[in-house]
């Protein structure tokens, strides 16, 4: 049964983790001199009447050459799995299509992963684009390439002082006059608002395109990862050279 790229990707993490654990254990074992050391000694009394003592011996528990062999075996699996994945990544390709239209042809897996990351960032960017105020009615101004509102005419007033006679003057008292201000129309403002923001319709359209392309890239990656792989044997030649 042929192996697929997504299956290799699925097992790679476990193989990498086991190789790391085995290599760490081997390294720690080699750092303990007592495990590498052995001894054998026998006792002979000076004369026949002397005390007889039993022989003593300690066996070597860790042999560096055996550790090298086991390490090579563990890492060979990792080297082979990773080589199989990386070689397959060079060959596995798929088209990116949206609504039947091919946007990119025969895209390699590494570039599809790059596209996924970039489109995630672009999605965030588009969602934060400035949108025209929905409470206004906007039209595009050909002369400035801005959006503008219809002219709105508003009255301009000016405060003019007026006198209010509270009491007329008499022979004994001056007139009592109160000053107040009256708003008097003096002209008209005509206001047109301009904006460089985008209509909500345009932003929604852009977001729809980004999301469709994101989906298409994911489909393409799944298709590429479903490609059959050729098992690669990189570990043996590497460790035959290193530890041979």
Write out the H or E segment, with its range, that includes residue 39: strand 39-41
Assign 124 to helix, strand or coil.
helix
For residue 123, give the nearest of 200, 218, 204 by alpha carbon.
204
Q: E strands within 49-137?
A: 56-58, 93-98, 101-108
**Residue 42: phi, psi to the nearest 5?**
-125, 155
pTM score of the predicted model? 0.68
Helix axes 109-127, 200-225, angle to 10 degrees: 160
Residue with the two structure tokens 């008499």: 170
Tokens of 13: 């993490």
Residue 25: burial class (beta carbons within 10 Å; 0-12, 13-18, 19+):
middle
- pLDDT at position 1, please? 63
Helix 5-30 / helix 200-225 crossing angle, nearest 10 deg = 70
Task: Give the whole-angstrom CA distance, residue 80 versus residue 238.
Answer: 10
**What is the model's pLDDT at position 112?**
95
Decide: 98 and 217 in contact? Cβ < 8 Å: no
Q: How far apart are CA 86 and CA 234, in angstroms?
A: 11
Query: How many Å apart are CA 21 and CA 170, to the nearest integer?
Result: 113
- pLDDT tens per residue across all 244 residues of the chain: 678 889 998 999 999 999 999 999 888 888 888 877 888 999 888 888 888 889 988 887 878 888 889 899 999 999 999 999 999 988 899 999 999 999 999 999 999 999 999 999 999 999 999 999 999 999 999 898 999 999 999 999 999 988 887 777 777 778 788 888 899 999 999 999 999 999 999 999 999 999 999 999 999 999 999 988 989 999 999 999 998 8
């Amino acid at each position: 049964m042929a192996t697929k790229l997504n299956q290799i990707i699925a097992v790679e993490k476990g193989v990498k983790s086991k190789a790391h654990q085995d290599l760490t254990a081997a390294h720690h074992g080699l750092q303990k001199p007592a495990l590498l050391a052995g001894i054998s000694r026998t006792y002979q009394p000076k004369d026949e009447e002397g005390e007889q003592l039993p022989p003593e011996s300690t066996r070597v528990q860790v042999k560096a050459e055996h550790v090298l062999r086991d390490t090579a075996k563990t890492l060979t699996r990792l080297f082979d799995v990773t080589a199989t994945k990386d070689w397959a990544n060079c060959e596995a390709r798929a088209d990116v299509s949206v609504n039947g239209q091919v946007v990119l042809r025969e895209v390699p897996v590494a570039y599809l992963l790059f596209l996924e990351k970039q489109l995630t960032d672009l999605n965030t960017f588009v969602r934060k684009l400035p949108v025209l105020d929905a409470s206004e009615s906007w039209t595009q101004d050909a002369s400035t390439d801005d959006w503008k509102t219809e002219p709105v005419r508003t009255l301009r007033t000016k405060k003019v002082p007026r006198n209010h006679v509270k009491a007329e003057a008499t022979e004994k008292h001056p007139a009592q006059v109160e000053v107040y201000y009256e708003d008097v129309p003096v002209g008209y403002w005509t206001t047109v608002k301009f904006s460089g923001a985008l209509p909500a319709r345009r932003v929604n359209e852009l977001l729809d395109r980004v999301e469709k392309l994101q989906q298409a890239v994911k489909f393409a990656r799944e298709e590429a990862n479903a490609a059959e792989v050729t098992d690669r044997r990189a570990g043996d030649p590497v460790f035959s050279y290193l530890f041979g």
